[in-house]
Structure 1
Amino acid sequence: MINKIVRDMAEAMQGIADGSTVLVGGFGSVGQPDALIEGLIEQGATDLTVVANNAGTGRVGLAKLMELGRVRKIICSFPRSAGSVVFEELYKAGKLELEIVPQGTLAERMRAAGAGVPAFYTPTGYGTLLTEGKPTAEFDGTPCVLEKALPGDVALIQAHHADRWGNLTYRRSGRNFNPVMAMAAKLAVAQVDEVEPLGTLDPEAVVTPGIFVGRVIRVPLAAG
């Protein structure tokens, strides 16, 4: 019997190794798997490469993971945003590597990884410092740059509902990067609001099929 629902956070984080590339869902705080990030902090993996939309805010969640010295490199679109104090401190001190990737390119690099496409050409970033040294080509008069797929060892994602097979639905803008990250990782761990009985999820509402999900943990929404 397939049952991807794990008993606790320790089981959800089991086997995440030092040096892993970890894809972290969310657009700012929306759709961000805060409980899973705290679980990763507790689990102890270090020397991580983190892929996320931004570099965290305040001193909680992703920022806390970085402040504890557990992140070697971050790949993101918006490293500086309101409250990104930890990133700025670490980067200025030379304690954190940074790779900036345009947001659409970041999403497509992970989508390509999930689809088995090793690389693709895009006009985004052509001729800028972000793409310096990368192969280029011209298509119908448009200069483009070659971008490689971006797979992950682990994806930490947030969804709305799941069943025991790992099929996932999302709530509005909480969808954002989460589906492509689930596809791009060897192991996707999903934090969900509710677990529904098998067969009750509307198939038309399932965005991430269970084949892309390894583990599911229910983290109920806070009251109020």
Structure 2
Amino acid sequence: MSNPYSQGGWTNTTTLSAGSSHSIPPQHSIYGALPFPTQRSAFSASMFTSSFRFTSLSPTTCILNSAVSSTHSHPTDPAYFRITTDVPTVGFTAVHNSANEPMVIIEWAKQPVVEIRDILSKRRAAQWLVLSEDKSYRTMSFGRKTFVWAPYGESICLYAAGLGAPQIYARVSRSREDNGAITLELTEEAIRLGLLEVTVTAAILLQCGRGID
């Protein structure tokens, strides 16, 4: 399985054993803004009401050329999104919706640039997914809310930044099988807030294996 810490550009501050059913050692809150749960069971699958799978369209480019479909959809159902890279223009990744409309454009310049139609104006990816000084998490703005992407076990989870009990919105995981297939899971609240396109874009940037800083 790919290491979520190295994929996201952050540092592994806590060693977690894969597949362990034991308690996860408590992790320090993110500058007091993100209290972590201490039990693996705190993030059960039942928390997530929607699940999407990135199916690679090319054995060599993985998530950068893939289709995003619901894990509950029929194989003949159209994909929610289609991700293509270097087509038709070299150096760009485009995400099209089921109507073949471009939703996301990523320009792989020396400092990658990202734009999400009607959601995020064109800007450096590193200015949207901001790496913390200690490289243990990334902050992400969406509307008036600030979220945090942070590794948890072998996944990368999206939390609301703030005090009090932690609230999780999404989780990105890589399968141990199926050539490391990537799955994005979202809570009902995340869907209600319109986080699907945002989290798909973040998953691409965090799991593509390219530097964004």
Shorter chain as normaliser: what TM range? under 0.3
Greater helix proportion: 1
| Structure with higher strand content | 2
Which structure has the larger Rg over C-alpha atoms?
A: 1
TM-score (norm 2): 0.26
